[in-house]
């Protein structure tokens, strides 16, 4: 009888919230919906019978222009998720020691485990900070090959300042993967996207699923040295980003003004949502963490009850043990959420 290998027997499929909810504030997507009719010409121009451009040349050009990076240092992926998978699967060898943090984006340890890496998950302190001096010593003493984290962090919404990351990059030989999925919402000055010439062990990840508002099309990018980019392009599957995604990506990424306007709208939304939450007398919330992202993290002993109560009102947020993570929405969505919370208990 066929037996799955042990690592697959123990694996649980990723289960996003299922069911239809009127208000979705659970996945950190952008609430700004592109008018699809705008895309008909873009999609019509795609030759469906032909394979995609393996290097997504035009899409990478648009991305590189937007972020002022060298297009030769950029690789496109089917979401940054795929890039995390390729990097952990191909840049490391079975049993390589890897550092992730907790709490942080779960995909880092997920893929590391799938690829049979030796993952050490270091727990952040009660303020969600990482002691990078400890990490540097630990990495050097234990022959750590890779350190992965998001900045700012999903789900804590905390940020790591550039001085700390520069020190880490300088003091370890390990590959350092900085996932800047939410950097637009915090501070460009803390970004390392323009620093890949200066550190041969740095990979910066970007996604179009959050600030850019294209979660549906699955598009992400890795920015790294020329040598690493050559390896990454060689290791990925040839046609990883489909032609429709490339075409829509090129079109949307070329419109800098719209992207900047949308980022401002999202920042306004999270600012006002946070303000309403901290001034709303919600005494069932023990702590509301100041956001540097398009979502806010809340600690409460009633997380499960509040989560289920909101679902019953057709509002989906993310439940994580003693925490709730709420993505900002349109004004109406935020108001509906706050009104529901005011009725709670």
Q: Which is nearer to ligand PLP, 181 or 266 (CB)?
A: 181
> Which region among 30-38, 74-82, 263-271, 326-334 touches ligand PLP (by CB under 6 A)?
74-82
Interface mask (CB under 6 A) for ligand PLP, residues 168-197, using x and -?
A: -----------x-x----------------
- Give the span between the Cα atoms of 62 and 272, in whole angstroms: 32
Cα separation values, 336 from 22, 190, 340, Å: 10, 34, 6
Q: Which is nearer to ligand PLP, 130 or 341 (CB)?
A: 130
Rule CB under 6 A: say whether 30 interacts with ligand PLP.
no
- Taking a C-beta distance cutoff of 8 angstroms, is the pair 176, 200 a contact? no
Q: Which is nearer to ligand PLP, 88 or 209 (CB)?
A: 209
Long-range contacts (CB closer than 8 Å, 24 or more residues apart) made by 332-338: 333/23, 333/25, 333/31, 334/269, 334/272, 334/273, 334/276, 336/23, 337/23, 337/25, 337/273, 337/310, 338/273, 338/276, 338/277, 338/280
From 52, 64, 81, 148, residue interacting with ligand PLP (rule: CB under 6 A): 81
- Taking a C-beta distance cutoff of 8 angstroms, is the pair 99, 146 a contact? yes
Rule CB under 6 A: say whether 337 interacts with ligand PLP.
no
Rule CB under 6 A: say whether 328 interacts with ligand PLP.
no
- Minimum distance from CB of 24 to ligand PLP (Å)? 14
- Give the span between the Cα atoms of 58 and 186, in whole angstroms: 28
Interface mask (CB under 6 A) for ligand PLP, residues 287-316, using x and -?
A: ------------------------------
Residue 224: its H or E element: strand 220-224
- Give the span between the Cα atoms of 77 and 209, in whole angstroms: 12
From 23, 25, 26, 28, residue interacting with ligand PLP (rule: CB under 6 A): 28
- Minimum distance from CB of 183 to ligand PLP (Å)? 10
Q: Which is nearer to ligand PLP, 209 or 243 (CB)?
A: 209
Rule CB under 6 A: say whether 105 interacts with ligand PLP.
yes
User: For residue 247, which of 203, 214, 284 has the smallest C-alpha distance?
Assistant: 214
- Minimum distance from CB of 340 to ligand PLP (Å)? 25
Q: Which is nearer to ligand PLP, 109 or 209 (CB)?
A: 209
- Give the span between the Cα atoms of 130 and 164, in whole angstroms: 10
Interface mask (CB under 6 A) for ligand PLP, residues 150-169, using x and -?
A: x---x---------------
User: Which tokens hold the place of 148?
Assistant: 């992965």
CB atoms within 10 A of CB 35: 6
Residues belonging to the chain: 345
User: For residue 253, which of 262, 264, 242 has the smallest C-alpha distance?
Assistant: 262
DSSP string, 136-166: HHHHHHTTEEEEEEESSPTTT-----HHHHH
- Give the span between the Cα atoms of 343 and 124, in whole angstroms: 34
- Minimum distance from CB of 97 to ligand PLP (Å)? 22
- Minimum distance from CB of 243 to ligand PLP (Å)? 18
Q: In the range 203-232, which residues lie near ligand PLP by CB under 6 A?
A: 207, 209-210, 215, 220
> Which region among 75-83, 86-94, 166-174, 234-242 touches ligand PLP (by CB under 6 A)?
75-83
Rule CB under 6 A: say whether 327 interacts with ligand PLP.
no
Interacting residues toward ligand PLP by CB under 6 A: 28, 79-81, 105, 150, 154, 179, 181, 207, 209-210, 215, 220
């Amino acid at each position: 009888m066929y037996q799955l290998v042990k690592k697959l027997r123990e694996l649980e499929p990723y289960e996003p919230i299922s069911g239809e909810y009127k208000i979705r504030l659970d996945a950190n997507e952008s609430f700004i919906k592109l008018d699809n009719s705008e895309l008909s010409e873009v999609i019509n121009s795609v030759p469906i019978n032909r394979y995609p451009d393996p290097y997504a040349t035009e899409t990478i050009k648009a991305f590189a222009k937007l972020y002022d990076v060298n297009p030769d240092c950029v690789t496109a992926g089917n979401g940054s998720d795929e890039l995390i998978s390729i990097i952990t699967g191909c840049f490391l060898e079975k049993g390589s020691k890897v550092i992730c943090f907790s709490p942080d984006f779960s995909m880092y340890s997920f893929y590391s485990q799938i690829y049979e890496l030796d993952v050490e998950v270091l727990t952040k302190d009660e303020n969600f900070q990482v002691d990078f001096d400890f990490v540097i010593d630990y990495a050097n003493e234990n022959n750590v090959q890779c350190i992965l984290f998001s900045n700012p962090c999903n789900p804590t919404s905390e940020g790591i300042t550039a001085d700390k990351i520069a020190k880490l990059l300088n003091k370890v030989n390990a590959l350092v993967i900085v996932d800047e999925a939410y950097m637009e919402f915090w501070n460009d000055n803390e970004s390392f996207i323009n620093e890949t010439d200066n550190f041969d062990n740095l990979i910066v990840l970007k996604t179009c699923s959050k600030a850019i508002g294209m979660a549906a099309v699955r598009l992400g990018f890795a920015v790294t040295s020329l040598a690493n980019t050559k390896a990454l392009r060689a290791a990925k599957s040839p046609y990883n980003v489909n032609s429709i995604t490339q075409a829509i990506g090129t079109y949307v990424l070329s419109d800098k003004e719209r992207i900047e306007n949308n980022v401002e709208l999202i920042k306004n939304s999270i600012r006002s949502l946070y303000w309403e939450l901290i001034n709303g007398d919600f005494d069932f919330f023990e702590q509301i963490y100041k956001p540097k992202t398009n979502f806010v993290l809340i600690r409460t002993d009633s997380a499960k009850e509040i989560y289920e109560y909101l679902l019953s009102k057709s509002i989906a947020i993310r439940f994580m043990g003693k925490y709730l993570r709420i993505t900002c929405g349109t004004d109406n969505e935020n108001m509906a959420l706050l009104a529901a919370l005011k009725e709670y208990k």
